[in-house]
Structure 1
Amino acid sequence: MNKLLCTILIITFFSCSSNNDTTSNNDDIYKPKGLFTSSFGNETALDNKQVNGSLIRVTWSDIEPRKGEYDFSKIEQFLIPIKLRNIKWSLGIIAGGDSPNWLIDDYGAEYFEITRVDEALKRIPKIWDSKVNERLAYLAQALADSFADDEDLVLVYVPQMTANGIEGHFNGVPTAQLTNVGLTADNWVKSVKETTKIFANAFSNKAIAVEIHDVMDNTSIPKQIMTDLWNDNDLNHRVGAAIWWISGKTTYQANLLEALTIFPGDIYAQAIGRSDQIERFEDDDFTSIFNQAKTIGIRYIELWEYEFVNNTFPLDFENFNNYSNITFE
């Protein structure tokens, strides 16, 4: 596909989507709040009275195994127990190292390799290669055609070309390694914002979340992404920031925590680990995440399935749900 045709396709995609209620009144957009489970291999997690919904995570490679051929059966299977319980759900498409092989091998997207913390070697498509967002635009529209009309879908995460495919960082990959393959602050910010607009335009009636971390040890990069998207009039305050690392601690990404505390937009979170991993939390206290959430102004937290299966802190769960219901519209 030549670059001119690609540009026309993306412009057409944005234009058509913009005419499809993209600038609708923000009051019409339901934004989730309270506690969700981040997964549910054990469906009893969904039976906990403090669970408002669940995140469904699937890989891009699973749902588009061949270019233009979509298989959403995994999402649909996860939806069965959710629908039976009449609760809400969020959607996260894992890209990055779990992008389909055809994107690189057949479609020719540029990539680089990283070794993840689990020592797995992963090929990461370069989000600043226009071919990547070209294909993400088709994926977003196919997903929206199938699920955007579902009123129980309340939050859509933006896929990212990162170590785990949703979180906005590279899990300790040295900055020099990233800059050597062409990553810059400018091309990262521009490309992540482009991906976000693709998904926001496809899901024009949904809240959208972009997970943020410091990139290349630089807080200004995620700060610019979340601020620019929140202030984009075309997006009408639908795009919030997400942190999948809330721990109660203030020493990890301290500058970004300060930026989030004064951020006027919506903030979504996921606990950094299970409550039995006590060393991951401030003063070995899992419940410190709830105090931190209130300090920062977080409206929604995904806890690991473990918490709801074992009902580890029922009073704290209830208190946070009550807080979020009172505090956020």
Structure 2
Amino acid sequence: MYSSSFGNETALDNAHVNGALIRVRWNDIEPEEGVFDFLLIDQFLELIKERNLEWSLGIIAGESSPAWLFENENVGSFEITDYYNNVKRIPKMWDTQVNVKLNQLALALAAKYGNDEDLALVYAPLMTANGIEGHFNGVPEAVLINAGFTAERWVNSVKEVAENFAMAFPDKAIAVEVHDLINDSAIPNQIITDLWNDSSLNQRVGAAIWWISGKTTYQPNLLDALTAFPGDIYAQAIGRSDQTERFKDDDYSTMFAQAKTMGVRYIELWEYEFVNNTFPQEFADFNAYANVTYK
């Protein structure tokens, strides 16, 4: 069990917490091209280190990419209006220079943190609605296609960034967050399957789902593919436990049962759960399951 954030650092004091996710925006850590400022990561990391916990790293790209990337004449971008009516400008991930710059980011991060034994997982940043999850959050298919999106372009560009991060961090687990795209579960399934089967990556690139809920009605085909997926699965709860409608039968505990069925090895819960110690028996049970199954 990991905390998905810790604005309230008492989340890190819960006895069931093994670690925490540090997520920062790309434009905050590389405000000028090639000039990196890791102070924000280090400030979060200090709170984790003083508690002897592990950590994961997620760099948010998408609209949080640096201004200099948008100004690059070899990088196109397009505008989306997401499910929440937020208007965002997103770089085109399939433009070659995007992954060139993401690779340089990966190398800089690895030079700084790659030898940290407490770093357990690194997420591949994506050019999506929120910059890390693998979808565009309700954007019509036509908007994506008009911007130049194709299944082949998307698969190839996501695989490239995941491969680059895996090579930069040669002994760390890498996660790619997946959702259906253009109503097609075959696209994310191909990405994670190809990456898992790539012998050069030593089966270090797994699938992440930041929408586990116990329900099977949302993206059912992708859930089936993930259940059959032989690789590692990393999850984040779809919401807080007091948002009962987001979970099967209004029951937060159904999420843990689903995680075991799918073979999830790691779950990030919202810090609310650990601050309030909402389901201590379920936390302890999942940790015991994961420790026996995966360690």
* TM bucket normalised to smaller: over 0.9
Shift of 1:116: 2.5
Matched residue, 2:129: 163
Distance in 1, matches of 2:224 and 2:52, equals: 37
Deviations 1:210-268 (A, max 9, x none): 00000110010000000000000000100000000000000000000000111100000
Deviations 1:48-78 (A, max 9, x none): 0000000000000100011111011000000
Question: SS of the residue aligned with 2:50?
Answer: helix
Matched residue, 2:20: 54
Matched residue, 1:270: 236
Residue type matched to 1:241 in 2?
A
Which residue of 83, 94, 97 maps to 2:60?
94
Q: Tell me if 1:239 matches 2:205.
A: yes
TM-score scaled by length of structure 2: 0.99
Question: SS of the residue aligned with 1:217?
Answer: coil
Matched residue, 2:95: 129
Aligned alpha-carbon RMSD (Å): 0.8
Which residue of 31, 44, 47 maps to 1:78?
44
Contact preservation (8 Å) 2:83, 2:139: no
Shift of 1:119: 2.6
Q: Please, which moves more after superposition, 110-119 or 36-45?
A: 110-119
Distance in 2, matches of 1:150 and 1:327, equals: 24
Q: Which runs of 5+ in 2 are unaligned?
A: none
Shift of 1:107: 5.0
Which residue of 128, 148, 159 maps to 1:182?
148
Shift of 1:117: 3.1
Distance in 2, matches of 1:170 and 1:220, equals: 16
Distance in 2, matches of 1:147 and 1:74, equals: 13
Residue type matched to 1:301 in 2?
I
Which residue of 172, 181, 196 maps to 1:206?
172
Specify which structure has the bigger relative contact order, considering alpha-carbon pairs within 8 angstroms and separated by 6 or more residues. 1
Matched residue, 1:7: none
Residue type matched to 1:186 in 2?
E
Matched residue, 2:267: 301
Matched residue, 2:107: 141
Matched residue, 2:292: 326
Residue type matched to 1:201 in 2?
M
Distance in 2, matches of 1:209 and 1:106, equals: 28
Q: Which runs of 5+ in 1 are unaligned?
A: 1-34
Distance in 1, matches of 2:53 and 2:238, equals: 23
Deviations 1:269-316 (A, max 9, x none): 000000000000000001110000011100000000000000000000
Contact preservation (8 Å) 2:6, 2:12: yes
Shift of 1:106: 4.0
Distance in 2, matches of 1:323 and 1:112, equals: 44
Residue type matched to 1:290 in 2?
F
Runs of 4+ in 1 over 2 A off after TM superposition: 116-120
Shift of 1:120: 2.5
Identity of aligned residues (%): 66
Report the count of equivalent residues. 295
TM-score scaled by length of structure 1: 0.89
Distance in 2, matches of 1:74 and 1:49, equals: 26
